[in-house]
Homo-oligomer: A and B are copies of this chain.
Amino acid sequence: MCGELNETHIGNTVTLVGWVASHRDLGGMVFVDLRDRAGICQLRFDPDLDAETLTRAGQLRSEWCVGVIGEVVSRGENVNQDRSTGAVEVVIHTLEVFSEAQTPPFAIRDDCDANENLRLEYRYLDLRRPMLQRSLLTRSKVNSLTRNYLTSQGFGEFETPVLTRSTPEGARDYLVPSRVHPGKFFALPQSPQIFKQLLMVSGFDRYFQIVKCFRDEDLRADRQPEFTQIDMELSFVTADDVMKVCEGLLKTIFEGTLDIEVQLPFERMAYADAMRRFGVDNPDLRFGMEICNVSELVKESAFKVFSATVQAGNTVRGLCLEGGAERFSRKDINGFEDTVKVYGAKGLAWVKVGAGEWSGSIAKFFDDEARQAIESAMGASPGDLLVFVADRESVVNPALGNLRKQLGKEMGLADPATFRFCWITEFPMFEADEEEGRLYAMHHPFTSPLPEDFDKLHTEPLSVRAQAYDLVLNGNEIGGGSIRIHRQDVQHKVFELLGLSEEEAQEKFGFLLKALTYGTPPHGGIAFGVDRLVMLLTGAASLRDVIAFPKTTRAADLMSEAPSVVDGTQLDELSLKVTRTTTEDAVS
């Protein structure tokens, strides 16, 4: 390969194929940079070459696809330090042009600043950029490492259907009209959850699949309508067994693609602790700056916003930004306030800590004693900035938790070369919808409670913890799963708590419930998002940089112009009529 040449090849005759990355004609001598998926090397066409080859070499232009034969020679003093092949060049004696190329609409370089929509339209050219080449090769390697590891652990890969039944809960399904059964529809799977549980009922006790899943949601920057999961399910296991297999898997993936060592076992943190210390269930543990609850210290404060909040049964919590007093301007702090407002906070109170004094608008409300108590609780020193949010816990936690993550990046606390894994466990089984006065399942209704909490199902369901576990990496949830319910009495009780009658349960989950009556093994599983995982692994800025042919945030493929209008006969065959058409000319 072009990118593999080095001094050990000097004197060898080599055959290379690839694309012209650049070309220059220096007084009858032609230099060409040739690129393949391994990298770039320099070709030299000397003036003593036969006239035809030399002429053809002079005609070469960017992105022509060529093959050459030549001898590897040293570049002597003229080493190019910027590339691994920089010590050598190849003196060419034979050139074949496989095909010429039009001038590409943008330069094929990692620092290309062309508009993303243009690059998506010419995705096949954008994919020639070394960064995207590396991303997709890494993705391929992740999938390969995953399969080999799981196979070595006794798993089989079993394919589940893509044309499935639409489920009444969860995200919006992509539908596929049936021609043979007019008026009926398949749905593309949001996950193979039910099928993998059925495989456990069937006795395939270690299932995995790297599988495409689909959600028709309004897309955020970090979502795609089709995404890939590493999906697993195991029978006769505990949550510990599942987590252990996953830890081996993640170690294999990360050590197989990066030059790092992954320590096992991963840290574990109960959901309640994560929320208390970090405000979120996917904390970034690469740095400290934990949330501090100062409610007790401010409940009698002269600052009425704080004291009234605590006296109403709510909470006041804060973060200590080390060295933040000087570092952050009033404008920066306004920006932090914008962040917490996104999560429903009404404002952000702050003080700058000096030597024996505070500054800032609320400083005057705190006497020496109060100041010292708060500084001590928050571990503050002179030069630090303290920020506070006062509200219900359900507002304060996400507000400060997400502000903390943002600050971790802005303050350089989150080292990009560190990979900090953590299991979050003991999630609540249920969330209460206070307005509707009913319970919802926090994961899904087949998630098993912790055995020691079974009894509480009857007495205090909101304190029942689930045998659910999420794997968090550097502040991102990369996987989640649970032990499922295999006892019918427990399943019935959970449905009852969720307000589902026997009939409704049958209507919604009929064939799975039936299957569970024919001898169900204890089982559990997990699913990891491949796109996110590879993004974190490669440091890519966007999911689109780790997917070969991604969709835009408006769920369109700009290259093939999909979705598109189809023939009327196709719709007739499907017994369908379009009731409203788009006014746009092309997708975007």
Q: Which residues of A contact B (CB under 8 A)?
A: 17-20, 35-37, 63-65, 67, 98-102, 104, 122-125, 127-128, 133, 136-137, 139-141, 143-144, 147-148, 151, 156-166, 168, 172-188, 194-195, 198-199, 201-205, 212, 214, 216, 218, 225-226, 228, 235-236, 486-488, 511, 515-522, 547-549, 551, 554-557, 559-567, 570, 573-582, 584, 587
Contacts and interface: CB of A to CB of B under 8 A. Distances in A.
30 contacts: A36-B205, A37-B205, A65-B520, A67-B236, A101-B519, A124-B202, A133-B202, A133-B203, A133-B204, A140-B157, A144-B147, A159-B547, A161-B226, A163-B214, A163-B226, A163-B557, A165-B561, A166-B564, A175-B176, A180-B555, A181-B554, A181-B555, A183-B565, A184-B582, A185-B564, A187-B566, A194-B560, A198-B549, A575-B578, A576-B576
A578 B576 contact: yes
A175 B566 contact: yes
A581 to B, nearest CB: 3
Given A144-B157, A561-B511, A554 B205 contact: no
Contact of A511 (B235, B520, B559, B577): B559
A547 B163 CA distance: 13
Contact of A519 (B64, B518, B556): B64
A203 B127 contact: yes
A143 B574 CA distance: 34
Given A99-B488, A181-B582, 13 more contacts: A98-B521, A125-B518, A127-B204, A148-B148, A162-B214, A163-B562, A166-B564, A180-B554, A181-B556, A182-B580, A182-B581, A183-B581, A184-B582
A420 B85 CA distance: 47
Contacts of A188: 162, 176
Given A133-B203, A162-B214, A212-B162, A565 B184 contact: yes
**Most B CB within 10 A of own CB, among A101, A144, A181, A576:** A181
Nearest to A516: B99
A521 B65 contact: yes
B226 A100 contact: no
Given A144-B157, A519-B99, A576-B577, A165 B18 contact: no
Contact of A563 (B136, B184, B516, B517): B184
B228 A159 contact: yes
A164 B562 contact: yes
User: How many copies of this chain?
Assistant: 2
A579 B576 contact: yes
Contact of A65 (B123, B186, B519, B575): B519
**Most B CB within 10 A of own CB, among A122, A177, A203:** A203
A577 B182 CA distance: 11
B164 A560 contact: yes
A440 B579 CA distance: 37
A548 B202 CA distance: 10
Q: Which 4 interchain pairs have the tightest Cβ spacing?
A: A183-B581, A101-B519, A127-B202, A165-B562
Contacts of A104: 518
Contacts of A159: 139, 212, 228, 547-548
Contacts of A225: 163
Contact of A102 (B20, B143, B518, B565): B518
Contacts of A127: 199, 202-204
Contacts of A520: 65, 98-99
Contacts of A182: 578, 580-582
B557 A165 contact: yes
A68 to B, nearest CB: 12
A103 to B, nearest CB: 9
A517 B67 CA distance: 17
